[in-house]
Amino acid sequence: MKHLLSIEELTAAQITGLLADAARLKAERGHHAEQPLAGQTWAMIFTKSSTRTRVSFEVGIRELGGKAIFLSKNEIQLGRGEPIKDTARVLGRMVHGAIIRTFAQEDVVDFAAYSGIPTINALTDDEHPCQILADLLTVQELLGSWEGKKIAFIGDGFSNMTISWMWAAKRLGFELAVGAPPEYQPSPDFLAKLDASNVTVTSDPAAAVAGAHVINTDVWLSMGQEDQKDKESAFGPFQVNADLLAGAAADHIVLHCLPAYRGKEITEDVLELHADTIFQEAENRLHAQKAVMAALAT
Ligand code: CP
Ligand code: NVA
């Protein structure tokens, strides 16, 4: 594994291997025997806002022995139009790895190709692979495994989070039900490419949640869509609330990648009832990403 650009490109063995490493790094936090990033500097290039991703990577890099440089797009020439391929060729000669949060998946792919250094997708419009690794780690910790479990994703059916979850289901074989308004469901072309009979898509949120062991949601307006307020009107029936969860498996858990908008995709009472799980999920970003960086470090 040279980069982490998507869940799509991972094999099941790579995913389970990273999760095993993440669990070990979590248990060994504070007394790591190895420092795989010792002497290294990793650049973090962010074009979108972040709390969890930024902090977990900066802390993770330090705990693995390295140093992070945070570069927001507007502080570097990228923000004034310098092409990603030139930025990549400069940084590739100076730093040892890169973590990129941006809009186009193509930019992360191009950065990896032109820089020649390990490159991690820290969220694009197409995928959020680091979050899904943390989510799977949380499922493993709380439910033992995803095998034989039904996972539901309620909300925007064609966002970075849903796309990454659909690829995780394809690779790992668990049942995934996506409940989304008709106009925000995965495209037929995407579903044909995914070609996964274990992934179903429905406009009926209750059907998606029925018997589910894991109920996952995310914002209705992803970063970059803030001016699409009219989009929200389609999502009312897709709020994760106590009524909707009444149809889930008795021992269900609720995941939210955060940030959460209470009263929109999730109610205050549901978020607070499941806060232990949701903030465990947030913490797991740190452990999952340390496993990724340790695997990629050269
Ligand atoms: N879940 C997540 O990626 O959070 P941030 O946007 O705060 O990094
Ligand atoms: N779908 C959300 C995820 C935030 C972590 C977004 O892209 O804004």
Q: Label residue 127 exposed, middle or buried (CB < 10 Å: 0-12, 13-18, 19+).
A: buried
Average pLDDT, rounded, for the chain: 98
Q: Please give the order of strands across the beta sheet that includes 199-202.
A: 199-202, 175-179, 150-154, 214-217, 253-256
Q: Ligand 1 centre and the CA of 128: distance in Å?
A: 9
Task: Please state the φ and ψ torsions of residue 127, each to the nearest 5 degrees.
Answer: -150, 155
Q: What percent of the chain has pLDDT over 70?
A: 100
- The model's confidence at residue 207, banded by pLDDT at 50, 70 and 90, is very high
Whether ligand 2 lies within 6 angstroms of the CB of 161 is answered as yes
Q: What pTM was computed for the model?
A: 0.98
Q: 161, 107, 106: which is closest to 136 by C-alpha? A: 161
| Residue closest by Cα to atom 2 of ligand 2 | 222
Q: 271, 222, 275: which is closest to 245 by C-alpha? A: 271
Note the pLDDT of residue 296.
98
| Residue closest by Cα to atom 3 of ligand 2 | 222
The ligand 2 atom nearest the CA atom of 123: 7
Known catalytic residues?
Answer: 101, 128, 131, 218, 257, 285
Domains of the chain, earliest start first? 34-127 (3.40.50.1370), 131-282 (3.40.50.1370)
Q: Ligand 1 centre and the CA of 159: distance in Å?
A: 14
Cis, peptide link before residue 181, omega less than 30° from 0: no
pLDDT tens per residue across span 156-198? 999 999 999 999 999 999 999 999 999 999 999 999 999 999 9
